[in-house]
Structure 1
Amino acid sequence: MRKTRTDAPSEEEPAPDKNFVASLEKGLAVLTCFGRQHSRLNVSEVARLTLSTPASARRSLLTLRALGYLDSDGKRFWLLPKALLVAHAYLASRPEPSVAQPLLDALSERTRESASLALLQDDDAIIIARSTARRSLSTGLGIGSRLPAYCAALGRVLLASLPPEEAERRIRAMPRPRLSPRTVTDAAEVLAIVARCRREGYASNDGELELGVRSMAVPVRDRAQQVVAAMSIAVRTERMTLVEFREAFLPALQKASASLSARLYPG
């Protein structure tokens, strides 16, 4: 839940950072609230999604429109291509996406399934590189897609990389809606799955995000063996059982992850 700002900081909260630009925070929140399910939004919808007031949402929307990031018909707003510059700046300046892409392509070609690389962002695993196989999944995932960490294989790997106390705090605090009849939402059960991932070195998902789709993920580590990302592969349930999926693709997934680690952190 968003904290209410006060005129003076309480004893429990530190004094606000004088260098922090709150208006920039609000503008970025508005820019990133658009998505596949929210492609065209009005002021009230943006206010609800960003937990801001309608007046604040309106000012941000109009400013982003004036800057060329949004367009509007007077009632609803939508993103313009200029918004891609924000994502491109990250993709162009960080080594992980470009180094991972050929490895994901090779893994996808070898298995004929889709492969992804993701980082932990708040309560989600955000995809920063992806290769889509001929057998496309109906989820329509792409670079920048966010998957809820509590039930996505990628997210479970990333949560398992956190100190256990922090992982538990985050899991208990995050929303855990039931996305399918198979979604595990109970905090204790999610914690047990994350603990098992921490022990076994991989995580799986069996129809929890989307019925008919199984996924499996492994960590990508740096030279100090710290987890820096997670790599996954997904398969249709009718193609193979979860056991067959693990036996057929886990070694290839682990090999691709190790190759990425070696290329990102040579020597």
Structure 2
Amino acid sequence: MRKNQANSPSEEVVPDKNFVASLQKGLDVLTCFGRQHSRLTVSEVGRLTQSSPASARRSLLTLQTLGYLDSDGKRFWMLPKALLVAHAYLASRPAPSLAQPLLDALSERTRESASLAMLQGDDAIIIARSTARRSLSTGLGIGSRLPAYCAALGRVLLAGLPPEEAARRVRAMTRPRLSARTVTDAGEVLALIARCREEGYASNDGELELGVRSMAVPVFDRSGQVMAAMSIAVRAERMTLAEVRETFLPPLRKAAGSLVARLHAA
């Protein structure tokens, strides 16, 4: 596997005179909302964005005035206009649109959910997804973020980095135990990433959610570097992890290979 060039936040270039700090703060506020943080107070936004309450309040009120947020005077929440930001990405980049029919076909064939993700900071962010008839309780969708250290998608993406860079990132991450099976020790996580780098795939057995197993493979760009990861998720009662690998790894690799071919032809 070759390296993934997605940058971590700590590696961002020091802002120059053209850098608009207020825009950065506004985007940080806009992207701190999520399934677990659907309605937030000023102080909660300040904590999530690591900014002062005054700064968070200014950003929130500006976004409310622009129609991206609404408020009852205490809490703020997202409005549909915020979808325009996501739509701009999905409509302008080839990977999501080219991947969607492949994910749909994979999901239809296997009757399981399939996803495509890219590395964003410490997370794997889903940019395309097809949900099977057997829905999983994780409730994932486009834009969902999975912690890279314990998600199959994330481990594939981390395996695409140079080993020393992957090690630095993993050791710097917060690695909470999301289930009784979550691997949180940095050395163990790095061993799993090294194994993924060698074998060309990563797996997850109930680390994100008990009862859910997943497997992921890399998607390469024109230069042979890992640009994304594609995964399939299965309910644990259906099959063992070994059965998941035997049954779904070949079609998963085939779908990823088809996406690479389509991206190269685009």
TM (norm. structure 2) is: 0.94
Q: Which runs of 5+ in 1 are unaligned?
A: 4-13
Specify which structure has the bigger relative contact order, considering alpha-carbon pairs within 8 angstroms and separated by 6 or more residues.
Answer: 2
Q: 2:242: which partner in 1?
A: 243
Structure 1 residues 112-261: aligned runs within 5 Å: 112-261=111-260
Q: Cα offset for 1:226?
A: 1.2
Q: Cα offset for 1:46?
A: 0.5
Alignment pair present for 1:31 and 2:10: no
Runs of 4+ in 1 over 4 A off after TM superposition: none
Q: Cα offset for 1:228?
A: 1.0
Q: Cα offset for 1:222?
A: 2.1
Residue by residue over 1:94-146, the C-alpha shift from the partner in whole angstroms, topping out at 9 and shown as x without a partner, is 00000000000000000000000000000000000000000000000000000
Q: Which runs of 5+ in 2 are unaligned?
A: 1-8
Q: Cα offset for 1:224?
A: 2.5
Q: 1:96: which partner in 2?
A: 95
Alignment pair present for 1:60 and 2:59: yes
SS state at 2:210 partner: coil
Q: Cα offset for 1:16?
A: 4.3
SS state at 1:214 partner: strand
Q: 1:11: which partner in 2?
A: none
Q: 1:263: which partner in 2?
A: 262
Letter of the 1:242 counterpart: L
TM (norm. structure 1) is: 0.94
2-side partners of 1:83 and 1:244: how far apart? 41
2-side partners of 1:16 and 1:69: how far apart? 26
Question: Identity over the aligned pairs, expressed in percent?
Answer: 84
Letter of the 1:211 counterpart: L
Residue by residue over 1:46-77, the C-alpha shift from the partner in whole angstroms, topping out at 9 and shown as x without a partner, is 00110000000000000000000000011110
2-side partners of 1:245 and 1:254: how far apart? 13
Q: Cα offset for 1:15?
A: 6.5
2-side partners of 1:113 and 1:15: how far apart? 43
Q: 1:72: which partner in 2?
A: 71
SS state at 2:265 partner: coil
Structure exhibiting the larger radius of gyration computed from Cα positions: 1
Structure 1 stretch 203-212 or stretch 217-226: which is displaced more? 217-226
1-side partners of 2:96 and 2:221: how far apart? 15
